Structure 1
Amino acid sequence: MDLGQLSIRPRLRSRYEAMDLGFVLARQWWRSLFLAWLIPSGVVFLFASLLVGERQWLALLLVWWFKPLWDCAPLYIGSRQLFGESVSVGSAIRAMPGMLRADWFAWLTWRRFSPGRAFVMPVTALEKLTGKRRRQRIGVLDQREGSGSAWLTIACVHIEAILSMGAAFLLMLFLPDSIGVEWYNADGPLWWQVVTNVLGWLAMSMVAPFYTMAGFALYINRRIELEGWDIEIRFRAMAQRISETKREKSTATLRSLVVLSASLITALCLVTLEPVWARTSVLDPSGSLHHIDQVESREMIQSVLAGDAFHQQETQRGWRLKSFDDEESEEPSDSWIVDFIQWLQEWNAHQGQIQQGMAFLLEVLLWVILAVVIAYLLYFYRKHLGSLVAGIASGVAPKRSTPTVLAGMDVRPESLPDDVPASAQSLWQSGDHRAAMGLLYRASLSRLIHAFSVPLVAGHTEQECVDLVAGLPDNTLHDYMRCLTLDWQRLAYGHQVIEPQQFKALCQQWREVFCRD
């Protein structure tokens, strides 16, 4: 990755500026991005349309579901051309299988409905990160741009719907009422299902380059912010200017000498040369030099222009818009549409049984994929589901893991002395007030977890621990924990030491609260 070849100005942008930059890049490279998405999806769409028969909606559903795979080719082109590398559509399509080879199943199952797909896909497709490293990387990148990528997905979904439905409604305006087609009817004519599917597929193909490049721009903007690309490029430019200045200083004397020498030589030549009238010279057939005047040269030029070399005629054929003055043809220009529709109807009449069989096989395949996904999810979460089912069957809640560290303190029973109040008073008398109060507070948390089964976890704060104790029927325990927590916070954060009598009272109350039978 050569930052010197970067085709955009690296600077900090807001999320909306970054998405607008992605749209600009998509307009600049739209042809290659559009073809890279259209060609692989079109092949699958064509074969699926021929196989499903009357259930044409299955073909469009299949293309829509595989969108993460089709987005790889435009992403490959954008990532290369952003750094000045020219990439062809064919090479981008050939690179598709290797971009999501590790996580293709995840992108087609539980990640399929991820609202930030365009923003996080470069982490897998370009950086080749998987598993824990991918989650950590996304956690860093997603701290600011997560909501922006979600709104990008919502906006592009609405644009696709507007384009597809608008094109279908516009086409319906030109159809006669006798045909009786509806916007989308699974039981309608086959040719109308094909037309609506094609419109939906074209709408997805037109929006996909903008969606992919906008998400990629969000990803690049976040990397510029984290890695300081703009600062690095400025340092490189500064170093280049310093080196150029040194070279200029070292060659200044030599350049002056060269200019002075050239000036002296030119002056000597001008003094010694005789004036010569400008004239035109040509070579005779014998090879000798012959001088001609202006009239002879004009006649020679006209004779050359009158030759065959300047009178060649060339016929070019191509398409042009038909004007109103052109003579109308005998056959209407749209007759091919009627022939195509009739061919579809005849083909459907003869191939109906084959289509139904293919549609049934495709439907079975989709159900099998769904079953495999469900089985994989059940296997992946088998431990959690097993504990949940066991708890439901026995009527007891699943066993919760007991924390060993809470609020930065070791709350294991074996880490505490046998006589907590006595050890705390000994520390207090030695002058280590913080350790004495910490031991008393740590022992209280340990007893709450192991003796009173209070559901404390490692992430709970001091106030959350007090709130959980408030749910117990023993109000004395809640009052003691509230007072102890307040005194501990004053000492730990405010460095305010309580009176010795108050600490002695806390130790005495600790015995009454936690050591009673």
Structure 2
Amino acid sequence: FSSVMCIRDRIQNVLQQPPFRNPKTETGWRFPEKQKGQSAARDTRDQSWLMTWLNRLLRAASALASLIEVLLWGVVIGLVGLVIFRYRDWFRTFVGRKTDKAKTTRPAPEQLFGLQVNAESLPDDIAGRAEQLWNSQPREALGLLYRALLSRLLSDYRLPLRNADTESQVLERIAALNQPLLSEFSRALTAHWQNLAYGHRLPPAHARQELCDGWRRLFNQAPQP
């Protein structure tokens, strides 16, 4: 029995020696298993906080994008409204014609500002008659030219003039036609007419020929011999 124990001890000693066993010494720091668990939990909390922060950031960015979109649409609508307001007379004059065609055409007024503007009340040669009246009756001469201008604006240019319009509003409607010669003539004639009608100031002598020649250039009326 003792021999058997000796043999077993020898075998155990052999097994504890190389190449059956190679003991290796390791040095370094090692955290307990409990600390590993705490670190993993902390990493999980950090990741959760980061995801929450990113989600909030994305929601804030989405809300900001929606706000910017609303502001941009507001700017666009405001610009469109500004353009419509700025060119309201042009829209009223030209765009309104398309809708007016479907309606019954209203007859042109026979009087504007208390002046007769129907064609029947005007002579055939407007400029010639104004030249005849100028020296002795300048008010009638200017009134004739102004009445004839209003009549042509109604008949030739189909401007929707009304009794409630002022001389300045008439000039704005003329400017919307984008005809420089007509606008220049109308401004000069209106200024002389207002000076005489409201300020009782006679027009200068050169205005007679300028206005009569301007009328002929615009409306192709040759001077009478």
TM-score w.r.t. length of structure 2: 0.51
Maintained 8 Å contact 1:424/1:439: yes
Cα distance, 1:395–1:512 mapped onto 2, change above 3 Å: closer
Contact 1:402 1:457 survives alignment (8 Å)? no
Provide the residue aligned with 1:509 in structure 2.
214
Tell me which residue corresponds to 2:84. none
Give the counterpart of 1:436 among 128, 131, 141.
141
1:450 aligns with 2:155: yes
- Which of the residues 111, 115, 122 maps onto 1:409? 115
Give, in whole Å, the separation in 2 of the partners of 1:473 and 1:499.
28
| Structure 1 pair 400–491 and aligned structure 2 pair: CA distance change class (3 A) | same
After superposition, what is the alpha-carbon deviation per residue over 1:198-253, rounded to whole angstroms, capped at 9, x for unaligned? xxxxxxxxxxxxxxxxxxxxxxxxxxxxxxxxxxxxxxxxxxxxxxxxxxxxxxxx
Question: In 2, Cα distance between the equivalents of 1:450 and 1:393?
Answer: 19
Displacement over 2 Å in runs of 4+: 391-398
The letter for the 2-side match of 1:441 is Y
Percent of aligned positions with the same letter in both sequences?
38
Superposed displacement of residue 400, structure 1 = 3.0
Q: How many residue pairs align between the two structures?
A: 125
SS in 1 for 2:198: helix
Equivalent position amino acid for 1:464 in 2: Q
Structure 1 gap ranges (5+): 1-390
Please list, as runs of the form range in 1=range in 2, the aligned pairs for 1:207-356 lying within 5 A after superposition: none
Q: Which residue of structure 1 lines up, in the alignment, with residue 185 of structure 2? A: 480
Q: Quick one: distance in 2 between partners of 1:492 and 1:432?
A: 13
Distance (whole Å) between structure 2 residues aligned to residue 492 and residue 415 of structure 1: 20
Match of 1:424 among 116, 124, 130: 130
Q: Partners of 2:203 and 2:194 in 1: how far apart?
A: 11
| Distance 1:426-1:393 versus aligned 2 partners, 3 A rule | closer
Work out the CA distance in 2 between the residues paired with 1:394 and 1:496.
41
Quick one: distance in 2 between partners of 1:493 and 1:467?
20
The Cα of 1:473 is off from its aligned counterpart by 2.6
Change in 2 beyond 3 A, CA 1:392/1:451 = closer
In the alignment, the residues of structure 2 paired with residue 496 and residue 394 of structure 1 have an alpha-carbon distance, to the nearest angstrom, of 41
Q: Distance in 1 between matches of 2:155 and 2:119?
A: 8
Match for residue 203 of structure 2? Answer: 498
Residues 473 and 397 from structure 1, CA distance in 2 versus in 1: closer, same or farther, beyond 3 angstroms?
farther
Cα pair distance change 1:499/1:396, threshold 3 Å: same
- Alignment partners' CA distance in 2, 1:508 and 1:393: 37
Alignment CA distance shift 1:466-1:426 (3 Å) = same
- For 1:413-471, what per-residue CA distance to the aligned partner results, in whole angstroms no more than 9, with x for missing partners? 01000101111111113x11111110111111101101111111122111111111111
1:393/1:498 CA distance change after superposition, 3 Å: closer
Aligned-partner residue type, residue 128 of structure 2: A
Indicate yes or no: 2:178 matched with 1:459.
no
Q: Quick one: distance in 1 between partners of 2:196 and 2:220?
A: 25
2:206 alignment partner AA: Q
- Paired position in structure 1 for 2:12: none
CA contact (8 A) 1:490 1:497 kept: yes
Which structure: larger Rg?
2
Could you tell me the TM-score, scaled by structure 1's length?
A: 0.23
The code of the aligned residue for 2:185 comes to Y
Describe the superposition over 1:163-193 as per-residue Cα deviations: whole angstroms up to 9, x where unpaired.
xxxxxxxxxxxxxxxxxxxxxxxxxxxxxxx
Distance 1:396 1:419, change over 3 A: same
Deviations 1:375-398 (A, max 9, x none): xxxxxxxxxxxxxxxx99996454
Q: CA, structure 1 residues 450+437, in 2 after alignment: closer, same or farther (shift >3 Å)?
A: same
Superposed CA RMSD: 2.2
Note closer, same or farther for the CA distance 1:400–1:393 as it changes in structure 2 (3 Å cut): closer
CA distance in 1, matches of 2:109, 2:140: 21
Residue identity in the other structure for 2:133: L
Q: Secondary structure at the match of 1:494?
A: coil
